[in-house]
Amino acid sequence: MTGLGRALPHESVLHRRNPTVKLAVLLVVSLVVLVPVDPWTPLALLLVALPAVVAAGRIPWRTLGGAALVFAPFALSLVAVNAVTRAGPVLAQVAGLEVTRTGVTVGVALGLRTVLVGSLAVAFTLTTDGARLMTSLHQHVRLGARPTFAVLAGYRVLEDLPDRWTTIRQAQSVRDPRRRPGTLPRDAGSLGRAAFALLVVALRQGERMAIAMETRGLGSGPRTVHRPVSLDRRDAVFAAVVLGVCGLVVLASWRAGVLRTWSTV
């Protein structure tokens, strides 16, 4: 398991790549898959991307599959909405609504696109340390010191939230005379009080961190980087391979005659 903003605790090809390059590649692939509205192109990309991500990032199939399932409800909603709202040849009547072939095709394409982009985003998160990402953006994209350190401070606050939540819930358990050993109160009132306490603690921690950073002169002048993130030819090869494979899949889909774009809907 990994905390928010921290990569899986092992080395891999994806772990070693520059976070800025990985983020740029993810954005480009996401833009490319906005074009096709046929189900075959995103399906082919998904079948290529998932094994590649598992191998290059050493991400367990169970972890990546569970993450992909998180996006399944939204993907199914896209299928359902498009199936009954787009004009085209009618396939069936469901509860007085016409399910069209065009709607089902576009809906499945959008659903697969959602799972693809979501899985790639999860893989990016699981193979990219938050501090390394912000350092890379500061170095190579010239992101200012203020937003860089502000986001890093936010990462640290978010990382502490699960432990703080556990501490608050355990304190509630100790104070509750009705509790049974090894159980935590689960009523709405207890959960609401715990959430409010967690919010107050996070706000106070954020305020203290903001004051500390301003006191130390954040952004008042040039600053050095503690652990620079390198950018070399291996990152260029990584970007070229990923984008090249993506382009080849789209080209193969076009040559096979199955590629459909928004202009054809």
Q: How far apart are CA 101 and CA 84, in angstroms?
A: 10
Q: How many CB atoms lie within 10 A of CB 230?
A: 11
Q: With cut-offs at 50, 70 and 90, classify the pLDDT of residue 1.
A: very low
What is the model's pLDDT at position 217? 62
Per-residue pLDDT tens digits for 176-186: 666 666 667 77
What is the model's pLDDT at position 86? 87
What is the model's pLDDT at position 180? 64
The encoded tokens of residue 118 equal 């979501």
Domain boundaries, the chain: 13-133+230-264, 145-215
| Greatest Cα-to-Cα distance within the chain, rounded to the nearest angstrom | 70
Whether 221 shows a pLDDT value over 80: the answer reads: no
* Angle at alpha carbon of residue 82, lines to 78 and 83, rounded to 5°: 115
Taking a C-beta distance cutoff of 8 angstroms, is the pair 71, 118 a contact?
yes
> Residue 8's Cα: distance from chain center in Å?
14
Per-residue pLDDT tens digits for 32-61: 999 999 999 999 999 999 999 999 999 998
Q: What is the mean pLDDT of the chain?
A: 86
DSSP letter string, 185-229: --SHHHHHHHHHHHHHHHHHHHHHHHHHHHHTTTTSS----SSPP
- CA dist list (Å): 43 to 69, 81, 185, 197: 15, 20, 44, 45
